[in-house]
Structure 1
Amino acid sequence: MDLVASLLTFTMFWKLSWSLQCYTCDPEHTFQTCMAFDYSHKYMTQCNKSTMCFKRITSLEFGDGLTSHTVSRGCAPQTTSGEQRKVNGKWYAVKDIYEVYDETCSEDPSDAERSTKTIHCYCRGELCNSADKMFRNILAIIAMAVTLIVLS
């Protein structure tokens, strides 16, 4: 039984040593376009400079009930380019990660007068920019229940 507990603990800490993974696709680029997005590994990316994933949903209403939706996914931009810090008389590039987003979805306020509406969502957790939060919470509860059953 101690071996099982040790292996589970090791597995949890092993995963913590990796960077965050997010789904990435961009409708404006032919590489990893969102048109064929299928939640497969080819859309997964390591977010070395981010602690959050994002999902952006843009809707354009044409009238007569016709609407077009585009979805972008990726690592939330949390660094600044070109930032430098002087250490011991020498300048070094800095790769600080800034926590500037809340874990929520919100509509872009600049879209108020436009026919285009954009919703920006930011989340923490592996591949969190795919399914809705309720589905992820159910999976977490199931995983904890299985772990408790195995350890008992």
Structure 2
Amino acid sequence: MEQYLALVTLSLITTGVTSLQCYQCLINPPPGEYYNTTKRLCIHFDYSDNFIVDCPFSTMCMKQDFYLDIQNGVRINGVLRDCAQQKHEYQDYKNGKWSPKTEVVEAYEEGCSSPDYKGERAVVTKYCYCRSNLCNTSNTNHEGYTDIMGVIVVFNLMKYINSLR
């Protein structure tokens, strides 16, 4: 797989085609010590070059805004920025052999939308997709930005309290 990614990157460089660049900030670092992204946490997001990533398997940038209203009118807000997830990997059978294939799937429309959930919603989410370099910069108009870990803790706490009833 690493050879395949190196080949794709090399082919993009030699053909002069560059991949889309987006801002990326993570809610929490991915597991594993080999992947040091603690400097790219959303709580530290400042529009600097430290948050710019190449998106070789995406044609769009993504921004996800979400909030959770808790008791006494308190709202916990979060924003996540990244490349849109468009990479589709599969096995192709051709001439008696299986080989790994990767393609970019156009799964999103440009603009913002909120999923239509039926029933009670705990976390309100809005997804925004755009097609130009670093287009996922728009600032959220929420006051009192709080790290999304607060949302996760409160959400799980509410589920636990409801399970006791």
> Greater CA deviation, 29-38 or 39-48?
29-38
Task: For 1:63 and 1:109, locate their aligned partners in 2 and report how far apart those are by CA, in whole Å.
Answer: 24
Aligned-pair CA distance for 1:128: 0.7
TM-score by length of 1: 0.70
> Greater CA deviation, 16-25 or 109-118?
109-118
Q: Which amino acid in 2 is paired with 1:63? A: Q
Match of 2:107 in 1: 100
Task: For 1:104 and 1:130, locate their aligned partners in 2 and report how far apart those are by CA, in whole Å.
Answer: 13
Match of 1:70 in 2: 78
> Greater CA deviation, 62-71 or 40-49?
62-71
Q: Which amino acid in 2 is paired with 1:91? A: W
Task: For 1:40 and 1:27, locate their aligned partners in 2 and report how far apart those are by CA, in whole Å.
Answer: 17
Match of 2:93 in 1: 86
Do structure 1's residue 49 and structure 2's residue 57 form an aligned pair? yes
Aligned pairs (5 A) from 1:24-39:
24-29=24-29, 31=38, 32-39=40-47
Task: For 2:24 and 2:129, locate their aligned partners in 1 and report how far apart those are by CA, in whole Å.
Answer: 13
- The C-alpha deviation readout for 1:37-64, integer Å capped at 9, x for no partner, is 0001110100011111110111011133
Distance 1:112 1:26, change over 3 A: farther
User: May I ask how many residue pairs the two structures share in their alignment?
Assistant: 116
Q: 2:122 aligns with which of 104, 112, 115?
A: 115
Identity of aligned residues (%): 39
Task: For 2:46 and 2:128, locate their aligned partners in 1 and report how far apart those are by CA, in whole Å.
Answer: 19
RMSD over aligned CA atoms reads 1.8
Instruction: In structure 2, list runs of 5 or more residues that go unmatched.
Output: 1-15, 30-36, 140-165
Task: For 1:17 and 1:107, locate their aligned partners in 2 and report how far apart those are by CA, in whole Å.
Answer: 33
TM-score by length of 2: 0.64
> Greater CA deviation, 28-37 or 69-78?
28-37
Task: For 2:61 and 2:116, locate their aligned partners in 1 and report how far apart those are by CA, in whole Å.
Answer: 21
Q: Which amino acid in 2 is paired with 1:20? A: L
Aligned-pair CA distance for 1:112: 5.4
Match of 1:22 in 2: 22
* Structure with max Cα Rg: 1
Instruction: In structure 1, list runs of 5 or more residues that go unmatched.
Output: 1-15, 133-152
Distance 1:69 1:112, change over 3 A: farther
Task: For 1:108 and 1:17, locate their aligned partners in 2 and report how far apart those are by CA, in whole Å.
Answer: 34
Q: Describe the SS at the equivalent of 1:21.
A: strand
Task: For 1:69 and 1:111, locate their aligned partners in 2 and report how far apart those are by CA, in whole Å.
Answer: 22
